Structures are given as C-alpha cells and as structure tokens.
C-alpha cells in the first residue's frame, strides 16, 4: 500500500483508520472521502474529497486524480439502520461496493472491505462459529455482507483484483460515537457510565456477542493488507474476534472503576432479534494461521482504557465549553 483511498472515512472505523494509515504511510498518501465533510481530524489533517459511493464516475475520478493503488471501502448502513431502511441499505451497501470494486479493477488496485458477524444467521453454529459454515442471515445487513463476501471472491477469481476482508464482530471505540449497529450498546454503555452513572440496555441480559476493541481491529486490517498473498487461502472474509460478553459482564467490569454504576433494561425487539440471530462466539483460527492474527485487548483491559480515554475526553470538552 502506497496511495490509499478510503470511502466512509469519517465513520466509526474510518475516522481512526485514516489517522493510523497517515501515521504509517504518510499524510498525503491517504485520501479520505465521505458524503460530507466535518471538523474531525480525519477530514482536516490531510487530503479529503466529497464522494458519494453510489456515484461510480466520481469515485473513479478521485481515485485516478490521486493515482491510488489501494481502495478501502468502508461506507455502509449498519445493521439496525439497514433493517429500518432495507431498500436504501441495498442501494448504498451493494451499489457502493460494486462501484468500489470496479474502481479497484480499473486501477489494478488492492482492495479491502469489512464484512461482519451479521453475515451469519440463526442456522449458523452459535458457539466457536467456524470460518467456513452455513450463512443464511435474516437481516438486510447480513444479506448485504454475504453478497459482499461473494463479490470479493468473484472479483479476485474473475478479474485478479487483490481483494481482502475481515468478518468483524462488534467494534468498540472511544473516538467515534456509534452509528446504528446492533452491538452499539457496548460503546454507549461506557459513555453513559461516565456521564450519568447508569445505562439502560436495549439488549437483554444473557445475550452474548463477539466484540473487539478498535486498536486491535485497525491492526488486523493493516496486518491482513500487508500479508503475503501466497499464504491467503481465504480472502473474503476472515473471522476475527477478541472477546465475547453479555451486558451483565461488561457492567461488572465497569463497576470495578465506577462502583455506583447501575444497569437496567429496555429491550429493543428489533435489535434483540438481530442479536439473537448472531453467534455467541466465533473461531479465528484461519486468520491466525494464514496471516498471524492476534489481539491485545480483553474485556478488562479494554474497559480500563475506555474509561480512562473517555474521562479525559469529557474533561477536555468541559474545559473548552468553559
């Protein structure tokens, strides 16, 4: 990777990935794009272009302008939002993906897009879900992700595009606030714990889902993209994970730092139905064997870091407001 185009660069993954890649490959070599610009560091610290991913000509124009050799396609509607707006989700998630793949094909560029545990469904084995297994999702987001994985394989076999992808669990970050995912409760709970000392979970107790802290997710993307292609048996997409917990377990960890924290429930039936269709835990052995995947943060270490970083963030914001 030398010149990298990122779509959806101001989203949850993109806002942090853009900065990490600029540190690694040089600010001018990472071109951030999104449908609108904001005041974030990702938008202001280096090259930025307005790109609607459903506009193939615009995407190709920007990619050609910067002579990119890598396309990282992150723009998408997430699970809960996609379920509420299924037609919009199909048009954006699939249309945008096709345009990004076509752009990579035209430029002979390396390609990355994330998949998700949402690609699995109720008939998938729920414990230690294997890399290769039945995938019959019951959500629009899941259908999009399965189709996306297949499209990545198709462009690799048909056109020789160096496509790669990760099947992410829920991602937890202290930088970008979540944007419509079923696993977002695991981010919101930290914000509310610090601000209010309590949280009302939309996910029922006893509901286990795989999760990963964002620093591990970013490292996994870079490690996969830099991996020797000769070692890759699977390309789209590798199971990766770091931890699996339910709301009660994350609450117990938070109480070690905020003893008065209280957790209550007001279950969202739409998000709960989605969560129930996903695995409790997944097996990442293929990623470990084919490109050396590893993670650093478990629940305890992540919780300590999240509370520290968010407390500092809120303190700084309050100082600026005063």
Residue where the block lists tokens 């309590």: 198
pLDDT value, residue 179: 65
Please report which residue ranges of 85-213 form alpha helices under DSSP H.
86-107, 140-159, 185-196
Q: Which tokens sit at 155?
A: 């462009």
Residues in the chain: 322
| Cα angle, residue 67 at apex, residues 63 and 70 outer, rounded to 5° | 70
Domain 171-211+243-280+299-321 has CATH 3.40.50: no
Q: Which tokens sit at 250?
A: 């994350």
Q: Which tokens sit at 121?
A: 């469904």
Among candidates 170, 46, 193, which has minimal Cα distance to 116?
A: 170
Q: Pick the catalytic residue from 66, 141, 185, 199.
A: 141
Distances (CA, A) of 126 to 95, 118, 283: 30, 12, 10
pLDDT value, residue 178: 65
Paired sense of beta strands 70-73 and 170-172, if any: unpaired
Please report which residue ranges of 160-213 form alpha helices under DSSP H.
185-196
CA 102 to chain CA mean position, Å: 22
Q: Profile the chain (322 residues) by mean pLDDT over runs of 10 residues.
A: 94 94 97 93 94 97 97 91 93 97 98 95 94 95 96 97 96 79 88 95 94 97 97 94 96 97 95 89 96 97 96 79 64
Rg (CA), the chain: 19
pLDDT value, residue 125: 95
- Element housing 58 (H / E): helix 56-65
The answer to whether residue 141 is catalytic is yes
Distances (CA, A) of 187 to 37, 145, 243: 24, 22, 14
122 and 76 in contact (C-beta within 8 Å)? Answer: no
Among candidates 101, 287, 322, 156, which has minimal Cα distance to 212?
A: 287
Domain 4-169+212-239 has CATH 3.40.50.300: no
Among candidates 89, 85, 12, 81, which has minimal Cα distance to 268?
A: 81
Domain boundaries, the chain: 4-169+212-239, 171-211+243-280+299-321
Residue where the block lists tokens 């990619």: 63
Among candidates 4, 19, 64, 14, which has minimal Cα distance to 35?
A: 14
């Amino acid at each position: 990777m030398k010149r990298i185009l990122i779509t959806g660069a101001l989203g949850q993954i993109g806002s942090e990935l853009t900065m990490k890649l600029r540190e690694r490959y040089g600010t001018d070599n990472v071109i951030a794009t999104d449908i609108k610009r904001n005041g974030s560091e990702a938008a202001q610290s280096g090259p930025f272009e307005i790109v609607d991913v459903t506009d193939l000509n615009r995407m190709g124009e920007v990619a050609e302008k910067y002579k990119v050799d890598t396309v990282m396609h992150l723009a998408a509607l997430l699970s809960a939002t996609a379920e509420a707006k299924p037609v919009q989700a199909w048009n954006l998630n699939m249309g945008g993906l096709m345009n990004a793949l076509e752009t990579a094909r035209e430029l002979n560029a390396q390609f990355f897009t994330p998949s998700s545990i949402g690609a699995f469904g109720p008939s998938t084995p729920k414990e230690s879900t294997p890399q290769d297994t039945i995938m019959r999702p019951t959500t629009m987001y899941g259908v999009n992700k399965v189709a996306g994985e297949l499209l990545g394989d198709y462009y690799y076999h048909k056109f020789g595009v160096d496509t790669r992808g990760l099947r992410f669990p829920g991602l937890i970050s202290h930088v970008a606030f979540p944007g419509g995912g079923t696993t977002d409760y695991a981010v919101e709970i930290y914000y509310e714990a610090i601000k209010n000392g309590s949280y009302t979970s939309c996910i029922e107790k006893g509901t286990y889902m795989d999760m990963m802290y964002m620093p591990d997710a970013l490292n996994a993307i870079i490690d996969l993209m830099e991996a020797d292609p000769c070692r890759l048996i699977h390309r789209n997409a590798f199971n990766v994970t770091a931890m699996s917990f339910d709301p009660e377990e994350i609450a117990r960890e938070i109480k070690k730092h905020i003893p008065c924290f209280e957790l209550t429930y007001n279950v969202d039936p739409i998000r709960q139905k989605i969560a129930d269709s996903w695995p409790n835990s997944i097996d990442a052995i293929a990623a470990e064997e084919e490109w050396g995947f590893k993670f650093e943060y478990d629940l305890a270490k992540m919780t300590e870091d999240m509370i520290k970083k968010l407390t500092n963030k809120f303190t700084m914001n309050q100082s600026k407001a005063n």
